[in-house]
Amino acid sequence: MVLVPTAVLIASVALVIPLAIAAVVSATALGLLQVALVWLLGIRAWPPPLSLVGFTAPGTSRFLTVLLCLAAVICSLGFAQLYTMTAIALGWDFLMPPELPAGLLLPGGFVVVSALALAVWTPIAEEAFFRGFVLRGMANRWGFAPALVVSAAVFAALHLSPALLLPVFVTGLLLGFLYLRTGSLWPCIAVHAAQNLVAVLTAWLAL
């Protein structure tokens, strides 16, 4: 309830300032809000015991953790590609994922700031909120399967784009399973960061 109007408000910033600056500002602000909500609603202690939301070493072996991360990235990107191809084949333009807008990244060496905001900070904040807080809290009360589905649906809905609902929902399922399987946020952050980095590199190469 707090995140949706905040996301809309912050997104409107792009109407009055350059898109690249707006992207960094919105990613930073939303991330800070998500981390603040995790602390306020879930931790409420200082210094915060980060293990409560999953900032711990994976409970799986290093080999299995890497294998699960690779599988999650491949399945997520693969489904997104299949979804896009299906939307094109059916002529359902309204379900076509939006292309990355021109001017998304800061110019020159400042592109590093965009990469840090979009491919490092955003994955950390979103995984702490959606997996470490929402999914973990629901799983404790409802059990694994309902929590996985509902948390993935919330994750998709808060991306505020009908065309992204299904692919982001599937990504949420994969990240949720990864979190519950490894018991750690770090693999989820790595997968989330890898996907966002693909988008950042795509936008950068298009400059």
Tens digit of pLDDT for each residue in 97-156? 888 887 889 998 999 999 999 999 999 999 999 999 999 999 988 999 999 999 999 999
- Total Cβ atoms within 10 A of residue 66: 14
User: Tokens at residue 11, please?
Assistant: 């997104």
Does residue 92 contact residue 155 with C-beta atoms inside 8 Å? no
Give the number of residues written for the chain: 207
pLDDT band at 178 (very low <50, low <70, confident <90, very high): very high
User: How does residue 32 score in pLDDT terms, banded at 50, 70 and 90?
Assistant: very high
Give the torsion through C-alpha atoms of 160, 119, 64, 34, to 10 deg: -50
Q: What is the pLDDT of residue 15?
A: 67
| DSSP code at position 103 | T
Is the Cβ–Cβ distance between 77 and 143 less than 8 Å?
Answer: no
Q: How confident is the model at residue 10 (pLDDT cuts 50, 70, 90)?
A: low
- 205 CB contacts (<8 Å, ≥6 apart)? none
Mean pLDDT of 19-26: 87
**Which of 89-103, 151-165, 177-191 shows the lowest mean pLDDT across its residues?**
89-103
Distance CA 34, CA 201 (A): 25
Confidence of residue 12 (pLDDT cuts 50, 70, 90): low
Tokens of 26: 């919105």
Mean pLDDT over the full length of the chain: 89
Name residues whose C-beta falls within 8 Å of residue 107's C-beta, 6 or more positions apart in sequence.
20, 207
Checking if the pLDDT of 3 tops 90, the result is no
Indicate yes or no: pTM above 0.85.
yes
Checking if the pLDDT of 206 tops 80, the result is no
Q: Which residue has 């190469």 as its token pair?
A: 205
Structure confidence at residue 92 (pLDDT): 86
How many CB atoms sit inside 10 A of residue 16's CB? Answer: 7
Q: Are 98 and 199 in contact (CB under 8 A)?
A: no
pLDDT value for 11: 64
